[in-house]
């Protein structure tokens, strides 16, 4: 079982957003914690909610059960709110704070293994840090067992010097946890019911309490303010990038590469500096991304190249090339080997295989077939101020430079639209359309015109 404490407001964040919903690498902190418990395959996850309860529940949905802590009387009181749901259960319970997003699955597994081996009633995840300020201190006896945790505000001078801290994550024998919780009081500097007091209570009962020290103390970061938020972000980013690199992704400069928590990337993809990959993005193998590229909630199949571009809820088929300076907005769907060149915007449009939109185009609300050439500066005119209309260009059509396709309009298969045309009527398959003024050349008139202007200027000067 897992209990996640997430009822606090997080005053020190000075934010309208509830603390546990602040994102770290694109994912709310409480989301990281619940994901970790999911990977650990705990039988039940109960999230204690209070401040922002509806928002937290709305975000997590049915990934967890919920216990409401209507008034925030402390972390011990928070755990007590799960009594109805969990007190009768047998087995191990992990208690973890919703503001410690970096605690890893491997760490929890290590803690649980130690807990079982030692036959402990409680095992605390601890860390040895240079700056213990703000954290509860771990007090051990001569034989190394933990006797109690003392909150910073309740510390003596001597206790304050202890560098082993409580990360706020624990493994408990479930029955013993709830039995001890009923004895916790609020006799302390903050008049709160502390979960940490359970440790001294169990110790007093002759139960064994252990501490499992984190190998990497960066995992212990508890986010109480924006400084810690930035620290957590950096530590998480380092971890995410490292995992991708170990899985075969080349990241030229990890320090300037921002990959959110749930992004997937295939092996042999190369990522250049200044690349941001966000949300539910899935990148295939052998892609080349960046530099300066921002991709959110998009799917790129194998071998796609994206340079200096922005993609949002877009799909790019195998071998497509995008950019530099392209903008793919929601609903942009490229087939295979599509070319999207510089200063091209695609929105809510499907483009078939091997179609090219090479420069300076806007394609919106359109269905473009395979092997279509959309010339430089050609655009779909999809909006009349009231309605969005659809443009259809069938396979093998050629749309010349600077063509306006005024939707709704269909360009038939293999049709040819002459450069500079403004198309308002459908074009049948195989037809050629030209829709522009016929050109008139006036022989020698350029010189005549210049002479006329010069004479006028001379007249004015007099």
Contact 98, 112 (CB under 8 A): no
Task: Output 224 or 264, the one with its CB closest to Ca ion.
Answer: 224
| Least CB distance to ligand UD1 at residue 260 (A) | 22
Q: How far is Cα 175 from Cα 296, in angstroms, rounded to an integer?
A: 45
Binder of residue 149, out of ligand UD1, Ca ion, none (CB less than 5 to 8 A by kind): ligand UD1
What distance in Å separates the CA atoms of residue 332 and residue 300, rounded to the nearest whole number?
A: 12
- Read out DSSP for 347-364? EEEEE-TT-EEEES-EEE
Measured CA to CA, the distance from residue 124 to residue 62 in angstroms comes to: 28
Minimum distance, C-beta of residue 240 to ligand UD1, in the bound complex (Å): 22
User: What are the φ/ψ torsions at residue 288 (nearest 5 degrees)?
Assistant: -125, 115
The CB-of-11 to ligand UD1 minimum distance in angstroms stands at: 9
Residue number, nearest CB to Ca ion? 222
Closest contact distance (angstroms) between CB of 131 and ligand UD1 is: 12
Q: What is the separation, in whole angstroms, between the first and last Cα of the chain?
A: 97
- Closer to ligand UD1 by Cβ: residue 78 or 326: 78
CB nearer Ca ion, residue 78 or residue 326: 78
Whether 225 and 13 have beta carbons less than 8 Å apart is answered as: yes
Residues 6+ apart with CB under 8 A from 49: 6, 7, 56, 57, 66, 67, 68, 69
Distances from the Cα of 178 to the Cα of 123, 171, 199, 258, 269, angstroms:
15, 13, 12, 42, 50
Which residues fall within 8 angstroms of residue 349, CB to CB, at 6 or more apart? 331, 332, 333, 363, 364, 365, 366, 367, 368, 380
* Binding stretches for Ca ion (CB under 5 A): 99, 222, 224
In the bound state with ligand UD1, the residue whose beta carbon lies nearer, of 50 and 284, is: 50
Pick the closer one to Ca ion by CB: 101 or 303.
Answer: 101
Please name every residue paired with 165 in a beta bridge, in sequence order, or none if there are none: 127, 137
**Catalytic position from the list 32, 77, 359, 425:** 359
Tell me the residue ranges of DSSP E strands in 203-326: 209-213, 250-251, 258-259, 264-265, 270-271, 275-278, 282-283, 288-289, 293-296, 299-300, 305-306, 310-312, 315-316, 321-322
Which one of Ca ion, ligand UD1, none is in contact with 73 (Cβ closer than 5 to 8 A by kind)? Answer: ligand UD1
In DSSP notation, 405-440 reads EESSEEE-TT-EE-TT-EE-S-B-TT-EE--SPPP-
SS3 95: strand
308's CB contacts (< 8 A; 6+ apart) are 290, 291, 292, 293, 323, 324, 325
CA distances from 77 to 7, 56, 252 (A): 11, 19, 48
| Binding residues vs ligand UD1 (CB under 6 A) | 5-8, 20, 48, 50, 69, 72-75, 77-78, 97-100, 135-136, 149, 151, 165-168, 194-196, 222, 224
Q: How far is the CB of 139 from ligand UD1 (least distance, A)?
A: 12
CB of 196 to ligand UD1, least distance (A): 5
List, as own/partner pairs, every contact residues 82-85 make where C-beta atoms lie below 8 angstroms and the sequence separation is at least 24, other chains included.
82/3, 82/46, 82/48, 83/178, 83/181, 85/44, 85/46
| Cβ atoms of residues 151 and 132 within 8 Å | no
Nearer to Ca ion, 228 or 245 (CB): 228
From the list ligand UD1, Ca ion, none, partner contacted by residue 78 (C-beta under 5 to 8 A by kind) = ligand UD1
- Shortest Cβ distance from residue 228 to ligand UD1 (Å)? 9
Closer Cβ to ligand UD1, 84 or 90, answer by number = 84
Identify which of residues 170 and 272 has a Cβ nearer to ligand UD1 in the complex. 170
Query: How many CB atoms sit inside 10 A of residue 369's CB?
Result: 21
Q: How far is the CB of 74 from ligand UD1 (least distance, A)?
A: 5
| Chosen from Ca ion, ligand UD1, none, partner binding at 169 (C-beta under 5 to 8 Å by type) | none
Q: Which does 120 bind (CB under 5 to 8 A by kind): ligand UD1, Ca ion, none?
A: none
- 167 interface partner picked from Ca ion, ligand UD1, none, CB below 5 to 8 A per type: ligand UD1
Output the residue with the shortest Cβ distance to ligand UD1. Answer: 136
Taking the least distance from each CB to Ca ion, the nearer of 12 and 329 is 12
| Smallest distance from Ca ion to CB 120, Å | 24
Q: Which does 98 bind (CB under 5 to 8 A by kind): ligand UD1, Ca ion, none?
A: ligand UD1
Catalytic, 359? Answer yes
Catalytic residues: 359
């Amino acid at each position: 079982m897992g209990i996640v404490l997430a009822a606090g407001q997080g005053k020190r964040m000075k934010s309208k957003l509830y603390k546990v919903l602040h994102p770290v690498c694109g994912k709310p902190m409480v989301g990281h914690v619940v994901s970790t418990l999911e990977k650990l395959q705990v039988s039940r996850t109960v999230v204690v909610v209070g401040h922002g309860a509806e928002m937290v529940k709305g975000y997590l949905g049915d990934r967890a059960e919920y216990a409401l802590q209507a008034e925030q009387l402390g972390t011990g009181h928070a755990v007590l709110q799960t009594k109805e749901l969990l007190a009768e259960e047998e087995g191990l319970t992990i208690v973890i704070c919703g503001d410690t997003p970096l605690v890893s699955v491997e760490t929890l597994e290590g803690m649980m293994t130690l807990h079982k081996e030692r036959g402990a009633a409680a095992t605390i995840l601890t860390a040895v840090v240079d700056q213990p300020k703000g954290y509860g201190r771990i007090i051990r006896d001569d034989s190394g067992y933990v006797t109690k945790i003392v909150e910073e505000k309740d510390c003596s001078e001597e206790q304050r010097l202890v560098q082993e801290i409580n990360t706020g994550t624990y493994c408990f024998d479930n029955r013993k946890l709830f039995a001890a919780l009923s004895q916790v009081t609020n006799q302390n500097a903050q008049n709160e019911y502390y979960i940490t007091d359970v440790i001294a209570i169990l110790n007093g009962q002759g139960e064994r309490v252990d501490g499992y020290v984190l190998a990497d103390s960066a995992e212990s970061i508890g986010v109480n303010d924006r400084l810690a938020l930035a620290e957590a972000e950096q530590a998480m980013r380092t971890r995410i990038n490292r995992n991708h690199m170990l899985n075969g992704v080349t990241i030229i400069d990890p320090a300037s590469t921002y990959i959110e928590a749930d992004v997937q990337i295939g092996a042999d993809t190369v990522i250049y500096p200044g690349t941001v990959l966000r949300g539910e993005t899935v990148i295939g193998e052998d892609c080349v991304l960046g530099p300066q590229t921002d991709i959110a909630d998009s799917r790129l199949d194998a071998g796609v190249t994206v340079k200096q571009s922005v993609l949002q809820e877009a799909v790019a088929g195998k071998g497509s090339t995008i950019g530099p300076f392209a903008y793919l907005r929601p609903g942009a769907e490229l087939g295979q080997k599509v070319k999207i060149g510089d200063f091209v915007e695609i929105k809510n449009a499907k483009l078939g295989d091997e179609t090219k939109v090479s420069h300076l185009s806007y394609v919106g609300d359109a269905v473009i077939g395979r092997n279509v050439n959309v010339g430089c500066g050609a655009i779909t005119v999809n909006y009349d101020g009231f309605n969005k209309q659809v443009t259809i260009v069938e396979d093998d059509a050629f749309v010349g430079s600077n063509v306006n396709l005024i939707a709704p309009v269909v360009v038939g298969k293999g049709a040819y639209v002459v450069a500079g045309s403004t198309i308002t009527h459908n074009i049948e398959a195989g037809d050629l359309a030209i829709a522009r003024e016929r050109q008139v050349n006036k022989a020698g008139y350029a010189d005549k015109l210049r002479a006329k202007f010069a004479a006028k200027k001379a007249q004015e000067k007099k």
